[in-house]
Amino acid sequence: MMADEKQGVFDTSRAELLVKELREQFDSGKTKSYAWRVSQLKAILKMVDEREDEIVEALRKDLSKPKAEASMNEIYLLKSSCQCALKGLKKWMKPKRVIPSILALPSSSEIVSEPLGVVLVISAWNYPFLLSIDPVIGAIAAGNAVVLKPSEVAPVSSKLLADLLPQYVDNSAIGVVEGGKHETTVLLEQKWDKIFYTGNSRIGRIVMSAAAKHLTPVALELGGKCPAVVDSNVDLQVAARRIVAGKWACNNGQTCVDVDYVITTKNFAPKLIDALRVQLERFFGEDPLNSKDMSRIINLNHFTRLKKLLHEEGVSSKIVLGGHADEEQLKMAPTILLDPPEDSLVMKEEIFGPLLPIVTVDTVDDSFGLILSKPKPLAAYLFTNDKKLKKKFVDTISAGGVAINDTLLHLTVSGLPFGGVGESGIGAYHGKFSFDAFSHKKAVLYRCFFADIPIRYPPYSARKLSMFNAVTSLNLIGLIQAAIPCFKA
């Protein structure tokens, strides 16, 4: 089926046919069974295991992603996500018992998780495997039929996914559609039972508007300008190292949760810059453009976008480190800017690249106003040893997630939901949250026919009313009085 579609143009009729076929498969009930779900999850695990080299190679071709980074951020996280689902699945699928209410006695009730149906996963180019397969794992675990649309911006990975998935998973219920804007538009016209989109907020709005036509729920995993606030009482070496790791060692800044800008005090900024300079040299050597441990920029389009940010008036003079780039190889050196203008593009738009503005404030507390003046980010980071400041940060800064004294690592904790808020997105996944994101929580109440008290049926009387009154106020004596007719209501 998939192979056929690759031959010609993917148009509306093909999309309709695809959804129809998948819906038939879903309706047959096979994706619902525990056995099917487990076998698909195992197949994905096997695929990642057996094809690791090809995956790493595709990532190298698309992004020059270093092997260690690819192993950690794509292979390892995928495998642990798969293992987590395999381990948790039985428990996740179990109906959850619930305490019945006094109005519905005698009864028992439970919450049953059921698959939504046929779901669409639209993924992004920066982590083309992780961000494609991780939601697919959730969709499969919850028992759905899935269509995955990988990003055309990472073409080698997209092709590999389209080649590999059908070899390992059930083709009749899990499909891959490659393509760009046209194919995505055609897919979005169809009625899905959930759309899971990873990308930017402009497309996010388009996805949600398209979903509204069919009342389809959406998960939107977007980005934002993720701030890192650095206090002056930190272990400077560790903080610098973790910022470098959370910026340049993460796909060279092309990550939705990486550090977008740093806020620190005027006095501390020089020390922080020095420490970053030392760590950057230790990480990537004296000539970072030739380092094998750093990804390149994905394509010329993004390369030009980043250069534009850098060359805006009043910005280039703020460069304190780096700034050089190699258009041929699409490489850009780690670049630090000190206090670029508030209204510059680099401070207004999500950077998504190796540029790191450092904004200075008089006191650390001033950073709150700055963060709150911008849309809610996907992540916010704080480096400090001050307990009060930590509490204030967690209490007042709204963001998808918060990590204290580190960057990015919160997304490796499977017990934490991963997802944005406000401009950074809708809905969350990872671990059991992935299962929940693709499940409907069905309320089920069981009753039996005996012990049916007619108080809730018409004709109504004052006695019935006072019984209800007694029930609400949990007045047992009143309840008995009202139930026994010899007492006056």
Q: Please identify, using beta-carbon distances, which residue of 176 and 379 lies nearer to another protein.
A: 379
- Cis before residue 485, ω within 30 degrees of 0? no
Q: Please identify, using beta-carbon distances, which residue of 17 and 68 lies nearer to another protein.
A: 68
Does residue 475 bind another protein (CB under 8 A)? Answer: no
Residues in 291-330 that interact with another protein by CB under 8 A: 291, 293-294
- Cis before residue 106, ω within 30 degrees of 0? yes
Strands 355-361 and 261-265: parallel
74 is catalytic: no
Instruction: Calculate the dihedral angle through the C-alpha atoms of 145, 150, 71, 437, rounding to the nearest 10 degrees.
Output: -40
Q: Please identify, using beta-carbon distances, which residue of 60 and 307 lies nearer to another protein.
A: 60
Residues in 97-136 that interact with another protein by CB under 8 A: 98-101, 103-104, 107, 109, 111-112, 114, 116-117
Does residue 145 bind another protein (CB under 8 A)? Answer: no
| CA dihedral over 133, 139, 145, 150, signed as positive or negative | negative
Residues in 39-98 that interact with another protein by CB under 8 A: 66-69, 71-72, 75-76, 79-80, 98
What whole-number distance in Å separates Cα of residue 104 and Cα of residue 351? Answer: 55
Question: CB of 466: closest distance to another protein in angstroms?
Answer: 10
How far CA 276 is from CA of 126, 279, 284, in Å, comes to 24, 5, 12
Question: Given candidates 286, 313, 343, 458, which one binds another protein under the rule CB under 8 A?
Answer: 458
Does residue 211 bind another protein (CB under 8 A)? Answer: yes
Question: CB of 358: closest distance to another protein in angstroms?
Answer: 20
What whole-number distance in Å separates Cα of residue 325 and Cα of residue 489? Answer: 86
256 is catalytic: yes
Binding residues for another protein, total number by CB under 8 A = 112
Closest CA to 309 of 273, 260, 265: 260
| CA dihedral over 154, 159, 163, 165, signed as positive or negative | positive
Which is the catalytic residue, given 5, 221, 350, 423? 221
Residues in 330-349 that interact with another protein by CB under 8 A: none
Residue 272: what residue type?
Answer: L
Binding region for another protein (CB under 8 A) out of 174-182, 284-292, 320-328, 350-358:
284-292
Question: Given candidates 313, 457, 477, 485, which one binds another protein under the rule CB under 8 A?
Answer: 457
Strands 118-122 and 145-149: parallel
Q: Which residues are catalytic?
A: 221, 256
